[in-house]
Amino acid sequence: MRLQLASVLVALCVVTPGRAGADGTLSARGVYYKERATRVMQPMLDGMFDVGSRGVATAHFLVDAITSASASSGAENAEPFTENRYEGGFGYTHELGSVITEHIEGLRVGGEAKYSKESDYTSVYVGARTEVDLAEKNTTLGLGVGLSRDEISAASAQGPSMPTLECSPGQSFTACSLTVKALFASGSQILSKNAVLGVTYDVSKSDGYQSNPYRMALAEDGIAPERHPTTRTRTAVAGSLRYYIPRSQTTLIGSYRFYRDNWRVFAHTPEVRIYQQVGRVADATVRYRYYVQDRAFFYRDRYTTIDRGTNPFLSDDAKLDDYSTHTFEAKLGILGEAFGAGGHWSGARFEGILSYVAQGNRFGNAIIAHVALTVPFDY
């Protein structure tokens, strides 16, 4: 992990560039997550580059170092173990034209792909999107599609042999697949010189293995591996409003998201943020988020029996129970100029985030900390 962190910092220092005709940013971020049975350290590197006068390319790479004593991660007898997940991705967006017709003043198309690999889970995702500007760029509408294909096994099981998974009723193999197709739409509307409204709508359909390969459901007559339904259709609609107060340089951001799926999980997520500019070189944000969800139709704390005829589905997944969370967060951003840095480093941005999540389930409360440095450059 130290080597990975050092590599990220070296890469950031190497790209401190001289003169040229295009811009970009390189960002290094480290995240620490801690809850009762799990600890995660995630260093990541993000890049954004101009490509010609109409293209923007992005790329990222990260490592998830997960140390867990949770049975859902494959730990046996609560013995903690560490596993790494590696993820890389890239994207490209191209501006097709600034004025297409009298009514369409901008049109962008883009695509992205990402790959994630760990010992028991491999995921490939590809997506495409388009955005159009209307009404003198007061309105922006977007539409996108995504497709992911995952392969899941129980390779992290700490037993003498790798167990098989029930990919679908009556069919067991050493690895199962999961395919997710998604459609997402978005719109933003300028309401005034100081207010913007945003709306998003997402729908996705998952087909394949959606249980945890290690978790066991508890019943009065024994225990059995989880048996989740193999199809799930999710929809979510969200709205946000940003309002800027010029006199105090304060921005108020409110959002709300409603989610439902055919496992009968309903969730509400209201959130408020207050963003305060501090002089020219710093900003501070505080955030509160509330999340509440219902229980999936097949979830029980304890089943009467593991018999498939009585209970076709079994689960021990705490995130399918009804519960709520409260998130409190403080964030500080400072430009390099505040420390007297010159050249490109004057525009570098240092960021620190501290979050506390009060979770009303067996995961327990969590602490999350981010430290990030973003450096602009020319090439």
Partner 1 sequence: MVAVSVRFLTWVVVASLCTGCVVVKAHERGNLAKRSMTNDRASGEARFNQHERGSREGADGGTGQPGGGCGCN
Residue type for position 127: G
Residue pair 374/351 in contact (Cβ under 8 Å)? The answer is yes
The pair of structure tokens assigned to 68 is 């867990």
From 3-11, 82-90, 161-169, 337-345, span contacting partner 1 (CB under 8 A): 82-90
For residue 122, how far is the Cα from the chain centroid? 17
Q: What is the rounded CA–CA span in Å between residue 325 and residue 357?
A: 7
Which parts of 102-131 interact with partner 1 (CB under 8 A)?
Answer: 114, 116-118, 120-125, 127
Binding to partner 1 (CB under 8 A) within 291-330 occurs at 291, 293-294, 296, 319-320, 325
CB of 229 to partner 1, least distance (A): 13
Closer CB to partner 1, 15 or 368, in the complex? 368
**Do 38 and 66 form a contact (C-beta atoms < 8 A)?**
yes
- What are the DSSP calls for 145-179, one per residue? EEEEEEEEE-TT--SSSPPPEEEETTEEESEEEEE
CB-nearer residue toward partner 1: 291 or 303: 291
CB 243 within 8 A of CB 272: no
Q: Is 267 in the site for partner 1 (CB under 8 A)?
A: yes
Q: Which of residues 174-213 bind partner 1 (CB under 8 A)?
A: 180, 182-184, 187, 189-194, 196-197, 199-200, 202, 204, 206, 210-213
Nearer to partner 1, 4 or 27 (CB): 27
- Are the CB atoms for 33 and 357 separated by under 8 Å? no
- Amino acid identity of residue 45, one-letter, is L
Tell me whether residue 197 or residue 272 sits nearer to partner 1 (CB atom). 197
What letter does residue 8 receive in the DSSP assignment? Answer: H
| Residue 200 CA to its chain's centroid (Å) | 16
122 or 305: CB nearest partner 1: 122
Site residues for partner 1, 207-236, by CB under 8 A, read 210-213, 232, 234-236
| Nearer residue to partner 1 within complex by CB, 107 or 157 | 157
Smallest separation, CB 340 to partner 1 (Å)? 22
Span 42-81, contacts to partner 1 by CB under 8 A: 42, 44, 46, 48, 58, 60, 62, 64, 66, 70, 72-74
